[in-house]
Each structure stands twice: as C-alpha cells, then as structure tokens.
Amino acid sequence: MMFHLRFVFIPLFIILQLSVIEFVNGGFSVNLIHKKPSASSLLLQNTPQSKTNAYLGHYLMELSFGTPPVKIYGIADTGSDLTWTQCVPCIDCYKQLNPLFDPTKSSTYSNISCQSDKCSHWLDTGVCSSQNQCNYTYAYASASVTRGVLAQDTVTFTSPSGNPISLPGIAFGCGHNDTGSFNDHEMGIIGLGGGPISLISQIGPSIGGTKFSQCLVPFHTDVSITSKISFGDGSEVIGDGVVSTTMVSKEDKTPYFVTLNGLSVGDKYLPFDSSSNTVAKGNMFLDSGTPPTILPNKLYEELVDEVKKSVALTPIVNDPELGNQLCYRTSTNVNAPIITAHFEGGDVKLNNVQTFITPKDGVFCLGFTNTSSDGGIYGNFAQSNYLIGFDLDKHTVSFKPVDCTNQQ
C-alpha cells in the first residue's frame, strides 16, 4: 500500500464459420454460414484493459489521460483509492523520465470545485483554495505524499479488439508537490482500492460491474513483458483451479480484507493465531502496492523456522544490506517447499518464484516480513502468476494459477 459513463462503440464484425461439406458433381462444396457474434463475445471484445509490467518492486499500469490521450504509467495499487499523476506546473516533484501531464493541453480537463461531492464526500483532506479548487493531500504508509488539485478528465483504456475505450469525467489528482520513494519510471499511482474515489468504483457502474482482475508477472521477468488488468464484464476469474474467499467489510472501505486461517510449509501447518480457537475475520488484506507479505511476529517467526528446516543451505548472516531477512547465497532460486496460504474458502499454493526474491545477484531472500500488528498484508510477490479477481459486487476474491507472462 503506498498503504453515468459510456463505452466507445465498437463495430460488429462477421464471423465466417465452416459448417457443411457436401459432395456435389464429383467434388466438394463448402457452405459458409454468416454468423453474428454472441453477446458474450462482444462483451469480451469490449472489456477495458490496461497493460502492466514489473519494475523495482512495483507494477506499472498504463492508462491514458486527457484529449488527446496521453499515456500515464502509475503504480497499480489495490491498497489505496486516489489515482494521481504529476502535473505541470510541478513545484516540488520527484524526477520522472516521461513528460509531466499538462492539463492545458487536454480539451476535456476540468478542475473539481470545492462544492462538489467529489471533494467534500470522497476526499477527507479536500481543502478549498482561493480559486475555488479542491486541493488535496494524500499520504501513504511508505511516508510518500502527493499534494495537488482534484480534477476530472477522460481516461482511455485498451481492449481485446484493439479499439480504445474512453470514459469521461473520471476524478483524479493532478499532483503539483509529490515526495517519497518513487523511481523515475513511476508517474503516479493508480488507486484500485474499494473506496468511492478509486478508479474501479468510479468506472464500475458503466462497464458491467464493480470488478476487475489482475495477472502480475514475477519480478525476475524482463520489463518488456507485459500482462493485463481487466475491468468489468469479461474480467471474471472462472474455470478449473479457481478458489474463492469472501471479502470482509470493515469501516475502512479501501483495503480488500480477507481471512487467512494459516500457512503451511510443506505439510507443516502454522495457524494464524495459535492462542485462540477462532481466527479474526478479515485479518489480512491484498495489496498490489506492497511487495512482501507481512505477517504478525509470531506467525512470521514460525514460518522462518520451518523454511530454515526445509532448505539445505546456510542462511546469510551479518550482511547490513539484507538486514534480518532470511536470505541464501545461490546462483539459482532456492529449492524451497511449497508454502500454502489457507484462506477461508480455499488454499493458494506458492512456489519459490512467489516466495523467494532476488534483491541482488547471487542472493535470494524470503519474500515475507513481520509486523507487531495483529493483522497482515498479502503482498505482490505472493500475488504473481495468479489471475486474481476482485468482485466488489459479490464481495469475493478469486485466485487461479496461471503463467502471467503468457497473458499479454
């Protein structure tokens, strides 16, 4: 965690389907039937999508803002709501490689007034400026902060058909003062949380439902390899191998809380809370903006102990760059046992690609860390190579193991 709209019309096309082969006058005659595409196939062709790629612990998601559209690459973050990008003029901003978004060059851009519900109800930190603009300050658990003006503009997605899907009037933050641990490839953050100002909450009513699915490639993948985040109808996670767990509603509507009963290292089961016969509902939330999976101290220590017993290598000690992480010196990934996350409703199995990460050449570290809190965060290392569906209407999160590098 950096912690009524419409579609563009896509023309119908004709599918030629080979249907009948007849023997006529000593030869074969092929009858072709002209068949209109089904409603479901058209929905799939109209599914809004965004490309994503892995870069330095985050997933960069491609969207286009404004008219004419300008590509923005922001961190895909299910742990926050506000979508924002650095804008001209940038008074105090971090360095980015791509040009800043210039509101004056978009014919569909407008600032949101202080009197708007989007300012007063959606954004607790909205402050009225002397120009009647809704100024915001949005902070993250990483200590990063964005400050700027709440605005609205057309946002354009791609689609399986190749045609753009443009949705007007999407609220976002035009950042003019942004600080924190951002790298020069990151142009802002795409807020995919469950709150009212998040991207998915804004576009959901216009695309067939408040739901989306993501497929995150592992971090060892070449940055040129992309996968997709899909929205609305056509984004459902279905088929063989799917397991689902229930979202747990809490006062904070942003995080996607789920219940983790425990973890297994191989056949060794580790309950989430061994001091009680019951597990607190909603003790974890899924955050694509946080790399490691964060566990309460006791469960983390038990996990590390079991992994050490199962790995035939000597852990690295006294390396200040690595701190207290469990790391091994090896040229290939660690031969580690499967770690199973036992969610309420189904199990998600994690292999070494999802559980061991290489912070530097010749070193692999366990992609988990600890917290003094009673709850935890299911980070993006563990989410890779799974098609994960977030259905805010049905209140479910679904997992399907796939090779996300083949989901381009």
Catalytic sites, residue numbers: 77, 287
> Is residue 127 a contact partner of residue 142, using CB atoms and an 8 Å limit?
no
CB atoms within 10 A of CB 37: 14
In angstroms, rounded to a whole number, what is the distance separating the alpha carbons of residues 85 and 173? 6
DSSP secondary structure of 149-183: EEEEEEEEEB-TTS--EEEEEEEEEEEEEEESS--
In angstroms, rounded to a whole number, what is the distance separating the alpha carbons of residues 276 and 326? 28
Nearest 5°: phi and psi at 364? -125, 135
Q: Is the dihedral of CA 341, 342, 345, 346 positive or negative?
A: positive
Query: Letter for the amino acid at 226?
Result: T
> Is residue 136 a contact partner of residue 125, using CB atoms and an 8 Å limit?
yes
Residue 238 burial (10 A CB sphere; 0-12, 13-18, 19+)? exposed
Burial pattern 166-199, b for ≥16 Cβ within 10 A else e, equals: bbeebbbbbbbebeeebeebbbbbbbbbbbbbbb
